Structure 1
Amino acid sequence: MKFALVEPKIAGPKRCRWGDQCRRPDRCNMDHTEYPPVVIKEDTTTYFLETRSHDRDVFTVLRRTLEENNFIRLDVPKEQVVHHNVTLLWGTVYPKYPLPKSCIINHFPNSHQLTSKNRMSINLASNFDYLPKSFNLPEQLQEFQEHQDQNIWICKPVAKGCGHEVRVVTRQELMNDYNPHKNPEGKSKRVVVSEYIRNPLLIDDKKVDMRMYVLLKNGDSIFLYDDAIVRSASEAYSNNVDTLNNSFIHITNNSINNKKILHEKIQMGDQNNCYGFYGNKSYKELIKNLNVDPSQQLHDLVRCAVNATIYNKKYEDELSDIGDSFRTMKHRCFELLGFDVLFDENMKPYLLEVNGMPDLNGMSKNGFAVIKVDFDIKSRMFAECMNIVFSDHFELTGFTKL
């Protein structure tokens, strides 16, 4: 089996969830044609998709790469998967329900040791040179109070993504958050606070970070993709404390910066081109233009982070509730991770967080625009990722084995 690269394709009208039962077909601008029936033969290669709604869209890199390479999506309740010849499970976490013995799983059962913000900050707190000083609040509030060296912090909720409720704040603001006299509900907020890197790498005077892709296989192999998506803030950088509440300066997440660009387009009356802020760049092009090579530091960062967490043997004991031992099932597991890395002005990398379900879309949310850099990188990366997963002898072209 060799996975071929998919080409960009834009969406047609979205299908109406009510189909031919729609009560207002004359007003509804969605597609009402029936889905073609899928006949699954015994020798068909099938996969089961248990994940977020936008990854279910037929135009994502994930689905198109699989389905244009002769995989068919099995549409049954997860409890029935064990009764089918499923080759691949793509889910949000390691499943607790039974699976066919031959099924390959896209998560390790202990991957949360790295992908959970609070677990990562604990597991990498010592002997790891690439993590900004971090604290879990309120659990480590006393330690945070004793740490006097840093005044500016970035604060992230433990259980939220897409930049939701991420703040850059002063030390005093954080202390006020957990002062019962000033904020009685503050104790209930579980967040990770990290030292804010105030001298980040700037491109066109704007702060940037990188979404890098790491593939784990069989519980012992680590692969790093040689390109990454460079994400940019939408306003010129300033480390003045008066700008800390401006997310468009200090947060590079696309979900945050889309809001600014969408608002500006609507204000200008550009209602038909509101695809958002997709000013992403290629990491390979960036490094070429900067004439630097931080690959050795990045390799060290990735190896240390994975070996201290997902590949750390001390976490095997907590897997007893899965049913099989880790040694027995690890050959069935792989994991595609999104490493968010920020460089400072001296090109030292810092690990910000690790995403266990990196976005594999490459299209605008409405499916009518291809985001070129995103799609090119994700489609090439994911095709090679699947080739590595399903073959032990695939020749690497984009991934490097660490």
Structure 2
Amino acid sequence: MAAAFVFRMHDKGPELVREVLLERGWEEYDGGKREEEDWNLYWRGSAFHSSEYQNLLPWQRLNHHPKTVGITRKDCLARHLRRMRATFGSALYDFSPAAFILPNDYTRFLAEYNKLRLSRRCSIYWICKPVDLSRGRGIFIFEDIKDLVYDCSVIVQKYISSPLLISGYKFDLRIYVCVKSFNPLTVYIHQEGLVRFATEKYNLSSLRNLYAHLTNTSINKFGPFYRTEKGSVGQGCKWTMSKFRHFLHSLDINELLLWQRINNIVTLTLLTIASSVPSCPNCVELFGFDVLIDNKFKPWLLEVNYSPALTLDCQADVSVKKGLIGDLIDLMNYASTDRFRDRAYKKQSGSQSPAGIRVGRRTAPNGQHIPPVRVGNFIRTFPFNAATLKASQHKLDVTIITQELQKLTGLLASGHSDETKWRRDEGTRKMFPGKVARQTLLWIIIVYNLSVCITSNESLRFQHLSSGKEQLIQTIWEWYDKTKIRKTSRDLCRSVLTLKTRVFVKVFKEQKQRSIPAAQKKNVITSNKQNGCARQLAEYTGTIFPNLHRENRCHNYPLKGLNGNPGGRGWEERMLFISAGLILNSGISPC
């Protein structure tokens, strides 16, 4: 019988983690039958001791990095953000209201309170939170300073009083972030998350009503309206992130920019502690970032959760968290020999410990290792180009990283092709091999993510191509070279659409299991002419993501003129929208 991977849980641990691992054929550690080091994964809700990091063996993994409390405790996070704001400017670190740590900062808070009260006509509201409590405990909102009463260390922040509402209800986003490594910094964001709703309609006239102002499930599941229908929100108090994306499609906003700003919040927050976290390659860390969106679609960081809750309170939890844990295990990159533990490594006398990333790695021309772009629903959001890859190696160069984030955000904010501003830089050409014409950075992002979508979309049960996603990207660049496409966005659009049909042919030939009618597949495969390619892509997209058609995001746009005459002004933008729609409906991050 083949050896099994072994997991170890502290104080029984989350039942969901145990369930997922047992379903995968893992065995639970039994101290009475196994030696002390005879395990592959040690999972616990609290921090590990320093000795446990020092004694970690090559086949073992821990679910926490050391010294991450700098962003998971509210007062520590406030101090780090204050420091970064002073160093890099308030324009960059403007995603969290200034925090006052009481009682130490009481004088500063009083000065700010009086200044705002005298200078503004509208009411100013404040929120008070204990620094070391979770699940909404001890939180209250106040307008008058006489209502500020506390008996422990707290932080006070300006309350974001104009949140985006759905059917009149306040909500926030729980973003699941996995840090694979702090040195070099490697960050993944899971494309499924949770949208957490308050269970009573938002109303500033009732500040003491926590069911209207707090979104914590631990509070709202005991609310009187938890099980009642609440407009678009429905019953309960949670949506999946996929459902929220569908809601965003109905709004006239720049969705790519919104998600990129959320990505920025995650990266900039992690940069506050990245240089101080000791290197520990056999660890991962799952954070829960809570993000609020205001009525101007600006995202705000509320807090960062250590060991985010993995309980299953509703169907949204089941849909999101079970896949989340499975993808997290895959991200740990176990080798087949790890199941044999010390027996495997005793045979390798004098060998180095295989700590760190070993599976799915790609090497750049300068010898740097590039972590995989996608593992399950985890998408790598950092590093996202050659400059950030280089800046995260050895000594972290925060200045370069912040500059690259600002460039990328500026690209998405501008919303149109401008080759003089978006041309590929030297480092990016090295990261993506081939004599590629000067494509805009945004098109590179779209082509890259479309290709990932084609090779790993679960709706069609695609198995990854044997050559892998990285090889497919290489093929794309080589195909660009052979066709010698002109350096214009219009020709790139048309070439991408033609390429998609060719990729479909290759994928369908390699797949035995198919989940759409043969007639539809034949239409997609045989229609290889440029003039019909856009329509075929739209129809095929509709097969994978019916919401595109329900939201009228594809067929309402004219797709004519693909033989060389663009269909009027804005043709590139329409093609961009269709491609971006495919990305958004697939849940793939734009970076």
What TM-score, normalized to structure 2?
Answer: 0.49
Aligned residue in 2 for 1:400: 379
Aligned residue in 1 for 2:48: 94
Match of 1:260 among 223, 227, 248: 223
Aligned residue in 2 for 1:303: 267
1:235 partnered with 2:188 = no
Residues 318-329 of structure 1 correspond to what in structure 2 (within 5 A)?
326-327=278-279
**Deviation of residue 135 (structure 1)?**
1.2
Match of 1:280 among 218, 231, 238: 238
Indicate if the aligned counterparts of 1:227 and 1:283 stay in contact, CA closer than 8 A. yes
Query: 1:296 and 1:225 mapped to 2: Cα distance?
Result: 14
Identity %: 24
1:210 partnered with 2:210 = no
Aligned residue in 1 for 2:61: 104
Uncovered stretches (5+) of structure 1, i.e. residues with no partner: 1-40, 178-185, 266-276, 317-325, 365-370
1:222 partnered with 2:176 = no
Amino acid at match of 1:304: L
Which protein has greater RCO, CA pairs closer than 8 Å, 6+ apart? 1
Aligned residue in 2 for 1:64: 19
Residues 39-54 of structure 1 correspond to what in structure 2 (within 5 A)?
43-50=3-10
**Deviation of residue 86 (structure 1)?**
1.6
Query: 1:261 and 1:396 mapped to 2: Cα distance?
Result: 40
**Deviation of residue 141 (structure 1)?**
1.1
Aligned residue in 1 for 2:451: none
Aligned residue in 2 for 1:113: 70
**Deviation of residue 223 (structure 1)?**
0.6
Aligned residue in 1 for 2:98: 133
> Are the structure 2 counterparts of residues 280 and 350 from structure 1 closer, same or farther at C-alpha, using a change threshold of 3 Å?
same
**Deviation of residue 227 (structure 1)?**
2.3
Q: Secondary structure at the match of 1:109?
A: coil
Query: 1:388 and 1:398 mapped to 2: Cα distance?
Result: 10
Aligned residue in 2 for 1:351: 301
Aligned residue in 2 for 1:160: 133
Q: Secondary structure at the match of 1:346?
A: coil
Amino acid at match of 2:186: S
Query: 2:136 and 2:31 mapped to 1: Cα distance?
Result: 33
Q: Secondary structure at the match of 2:285?
A: strand
> Are the structure 2 counterparts of residues 158 and 373 from structure 1 closer, same or farther at C-alpha, using a change threshold of 3 Å?
same
Q: Secondary structure at the match of 2:243?
A: helix
Query: 1:143 and 1:213 mapped to 2: Cα distance?
Result: 34
Indicate if the aligned counterparts of 2:128 and 2:141 stay in contact, CA closer than 8 A. yes
Q: Secondary structure at the match of 1:120?
A: helix
Indicate if the aligned counterparts of 1:81 and 1:100 stay in contact, CA closer than 8 A. no
Q: Deviations over 1:48-83 (max 9, x none)?
A: 2125x6x443xx2x2211111122222449xx9982
Query: 1:264 and 1:398 mapped to 2: Cα distance?
Result: 30
Query: 1:118 and 1:146 mapped to 2: Cα distance?
Result: 20
Query: 1:346 and 1:385 mapped to 2: Cα distance?
Result: 33
Q: Secondary structure at the match of 1:63?
A: helix
**Deviation of residue 191 (structure 1)?**
1.0
What TM-score, normalized to structure 1?
Answer: 0.71
Indicate if the aligned counterparts of 2:42 and 2:63 stay in contact, CA closer than 8 A. yes
> Are the structure 2 counterparts of residues 223 and 377 from structure 1 closer, same or farther at C-alpha, using a change threshold of 3 Å?
same
Query: 1:97 and 1:76 mapped to 2: Cα distance?
Result: 19
Q: Secondary structure at the match of 1:136?
A: strand
Q: Deviations over 1:24-54 (max 9, x none)?
A: xxxxxxxxxxxxxxxxx99432122125x6x
Amino acid at match of 1:360: L
> Are the structure 2 counterparts of residues 208 and 81 from structure 1 closer, same or farther at C-alpha, using a change threshold of 3 Å?
farther
**Deviation of residue 385 (structure 1)?**
1.7
Q: Would you tell me which structure has more strand in proportion to its own residues?
A: 1
Q: Deviations over 1:173-201 (max 9, x none)?
A: 355x2xxxxxxxx5x41112221100001
> Are the structure 2 counterparts of residues 353 and 75 from structure 1 closer, same or farther at C-alpha, using a change threshold of 3 Å?
farther
Q: Would you tell me which structure has more helix in proportion to its own residues?
A: 2
Amino acid at match of 1:400: I
User: How much is the aligned-residue C-alpha RMSD, in angstroms?
Assistant: 2.5
**Deviation of residue 233 (structure 1)?**
0.6
Query: 1:345 and 1:397 mapped to 2: Cα distance?
Result: 32
Q: How many residues align?
A: 311
Query: 2:35 and 2:99 mapped to 1: Cα distance?
Result: 42
Aligned residue in 2 for 1:83: 36
Aligned residue in 2 for 1:269: none
Indicate if the aligned counterparts of 1:85 and 1:100 stay in contact, CA closer than 8 A. no
Q: Secondary structure at the match of 1:260?
A: coil
Q: Secondary structure at the match of 2:281?
A: helix
Indicate if the aligned counterparts of 1:83 and 1:100 stay in contact, CA closer than 8 A. no
Query: 1:82 and 1:192 mapped to 2: Cα distance?
Result: 46
Q: Deviations over 1:152-210 (max 9, x none)?
A: 111111221111111111241355x2xxxxxxxx5x41112221100001011100001
Query: 2:226 and 2:375 mapped to 1: Cα distance?
Result: 43
**Deviation of residue 352 (structure 1)?**
0.5
Residues 161-176 of structure 1 correspond to what in structure 2 (within 5 A)?
161-173=134-146, 175=148
Query: 2:194 and 2:219 mapped to 1: Cα distance?
Result: 16
Larger CA deviation: 122-131 vs 148-157: 148-157
Indicate if the aligned counterparts of 1:212 and 1:340 stay in contact, CA closer than 8 A. yes
Query: 1:173 and 1:223 mapped to 2: Cα distance?
Result: 44
Indicate if the aligned counterparts of 1:137 and 1:190 stay in contact, CA closer than 8 A. yes
Q: Deviations over 1:277-302 (max 9, x none)?
A: 73311223223222341111011111
Q: Deviations over 1:204-244 (max 9, x none)?
A: 1100001110000122200111222111111111123xx00
> Are the structure 2 counterparts of residues 300 and 56 from structure 1 closer, same or farther at C-alpha, using a change threshold of 3 Å?
closer
Q: Secondary structure at the match of 2:200?
A: coil
1:375 partnered with 2:318 = yes
Residues 174-185 of structure 1 correspond to what in structure 2 (within 5 A)?
175=148, 177=149
Query: 1:81 and 1:131 mapped to 2: Cα distance?
Result: 48
> Are the structure 2 counterparts of residues 107 and 260 from structure 1 closer, same or farther at C-alpha, using a change threshold of 3 Å?
same
Amino acid at match of 1:132: P
> Are the structure 2 counterparts of residues 152 and 82 from structure 1 closer, same or farther at C-alpha, using a change threshold of 3 Å?
farther
Query: 1:90 and 1:236 mapped to 2: Cα distance?
Result: 39
**Deviation of residue 259 (structure 1)?**
1.5
Aligned residue in 2 for 1:181: none
Query: 1:155 and 1:121 mapped to 2: Cα distance?
Result: 13
Amino acid at match of 1:361: T
Amino acid at match of 1:225: H
Runs of 4+ in structure 1 displaced over 4 angstroms?
Answer: 262-265
Q: Secondary structure at the match of 1:93?
A: coil
